[in-house]
Amino acid sequence: MSTEVRQMFSSIATRYDVTNEVLSFGIHRLWRRTAVRLSRAKAGDSVLDCASGTGDLALAFKRKVGTTGRVLGTDFCPEMLESAPAKAAKAGLQVDFQVADAMALPFEDNRFDVASIAFGIRNVDDPVKCLKEMGRVVKPGGRVVVLEFGQPEGVFGALFRFYSKTVMPAIGGMLTGNRAAYEYLPRTSAAFPAGERFLSLMDQSGAYAERSAHPLTFGTANVYVGLVR
C-alpha cells in the first residue's frame, strides 16, 4: 500500500491545500488547533510531526512552542513536503522538514517531547507499528497526538457519508484531476478503526500508560492522545 499511497499523494500535492480548504470548509484549522492544545505542548518543547504533508500542523506546533522550541516535520512523500518550507518562511516560522517513514523513524529514543500525525495513520501499512515507533522517539511522560477522521452516527453521519462518497470525489477530482484519490480517502476513513477501536490499537503498541479519545464535530474527526510510558 505504501507505494500506491505515495504515488497518489505525489499526484495531488500541488493542489492539496486548496482542495483541503474547499472540502473541509476550513474546519481542519480548528481541528489542528485542538490537537495542539490537547498535546499540552509548551514553549521550548521539541515536536515531531509525522505525515506532515504541506506542514500545516507543524506550523501550528511551532507557534505554540515558540522560538526556543523546535519542530521537525516528516513525510514519506517528498512531493508533499516541497511547499512546506516556503509556507513556513512566509509565516515567519523556523520549521525543519525531512523525508522519513513514520513506521521507521530515523531518530534516537526519547528525543522529542511530543509527536503528532494528522490524517496520516490510516495510510500506513501497520498502524500499531507506527504508534509504537512514535512512542519510541518521545520521552517518557511526553505525548503522542493522532488526528484522524471518524465515523459520525445518526442524521449527521448519514449526511457526512453522502458528502464523502458523492461530493468529495466530484470536487476533489475536479480540483486535482485525480478523482480516484478522493474516492480512496473517504473509503479508508470509513473503514479505519475509530474511537474505542483505535484506542485498542494504542494498547496493542504497548507504548502508552494512558490514552484518550476526543471527538470533534459530531465525531467527524477524533484527537487521540497517548501518554508515553
Q: Coil, strand or helix: which one is 118?
A: strand
58 in a labelled binding site: no
In contact, 104 and 83? CB cutoff 8 Å: no
- 101 marked as binding residue: yes
Does 45 appear as a known binding residue?
Answer: no
H or E element in which residue 37 lies = helix 27-39
Residue with cell 484518550: 212
Question: 149 by DSSP, 3-state: which?
Answer: strand
CB neighbour list of residue 177: distance below 8 Å, 6 or more residues apart: 11, 15
Q: Is 118 annotated as a binding residue?
A: no
The alpha-helical segments, DSSP class H, found in 163-210 are: 168-176, 179-191, 196-205
| Positions at the binding site for S-adenosyl-L-methionine | 54, 75, 101-102
| Positions at the binding site | 54, 75, 101-102
